[in-house]
Chain A
Amino acid sequence: MGIIIDYSPLPGLEKTGVLAPMIPVTFKNGRHEFSTIALVDSGAEAGIISTVIADKLNIKWRKIPAKTGFSVGSSFLFHPVNVTASIYDHDFSLKVNVVEGIFAFKCILGRKDVFKRAKICFEGHKNQFEVIFRELN
């Protein structure tokens, strides 16, 4: 059974006509939970969260050696951590990268996480996307 989610307009971008595919997600790290709304990014190799979100999940990211990542605009430092994510009752483990120096709201799911767990169909002509989770035993 799939879920259809309308693309969302983003504050500050109203005049551009840009809409973004956003998905509700709950991250779990032991007994710590944090629910937010993540950008679904087929161009992102892996998921990222900000240090603010990592702190809320009680992730001791400063103790994890930093690695260097690259994006279109610049390079960045990140700390990979294992957490659990839950999207509409579909729970799965994933490695998410805590990225230093990014905006607090940044939470992106990419190809190594949500795209491996679900078939995601972007329907740009309808301004919506469909998520169909794989049934895994």
Chain B
Amino acid sequence: MKQIKINLVKLLKGYKPGWVGISPDFKKVLVWGKTLNEATKKAKTNKEKIYYFPSGESYSNFVGIICYGNNNRL
């Protein structure tokens, strides 16, 4: 059984707002651009499949969350 680990916090740590291109094994960022177009242009010479995802964002409204208490932990 194939098992995949994607840790977006580790991958995107330290990157400014923009878009990153992530390697197909989800272990490293291959390119970064201020815009998606800039990132895809930088990746043109790369033969691997690249997964694009925005960096420097808070994804707090990606998922619906309800927080309880002071430490925000559910």
By a beta-carbon cutoff of 8 Å, the part of chain A in contact with chain B is: 1-6, 8-18, 20, 22, 24, 26, 34-37, 39, 52, 56, 72-73, 88, 103-106, 130
Report the bound CA distance from A125 to B13 in whole Å.
26
Q: How far is the CB of A5 from chain B (nearest CB, A)?
A: 5
> Using a CB-CB cutoff of 8 Å, which residues 16-74 of chain B contact chain A?
22, 24, 26, 36, 40, 49-54, 57-65, 67, 71-74
**B50 contact set on A, CB distance < 8 A:** 35
Given contacts A3-B1, A4-B3, A9-B8, could you give 8 more A-B pairs where the C-beta distance is less than 8 Å?
A: A3-B2, A11-B57, A15-B73, A20-B59, A39-B63, A52-B36, A103-B61, A105-B57
By a beta-carbon cutoff of 8 Å, the part of chain B in contact with chain A is: 1-9, 12-13, 22, 24, 26, 36, 40, 49-54, 57-65, 67, 71-74
Least CB separation from A4: chain B residue: B3
Interface of B is mostly: loop
**A14 contact set on B, CB distance < 8 A:** 9
Q: How far is the CB of B31 from chain A (nearest CB, A)?
A: 13
**A130 contact set on B, CB distance < 8 A:** 1
Across the interface, A37 reaches (CB within 8 A) one of B13, B51, B58, B67, namely B51
**A35 contact set on B, CB distance < 8 A:** 49-52
Report the bound CA distance from A20 to B9 in whole Å.
12
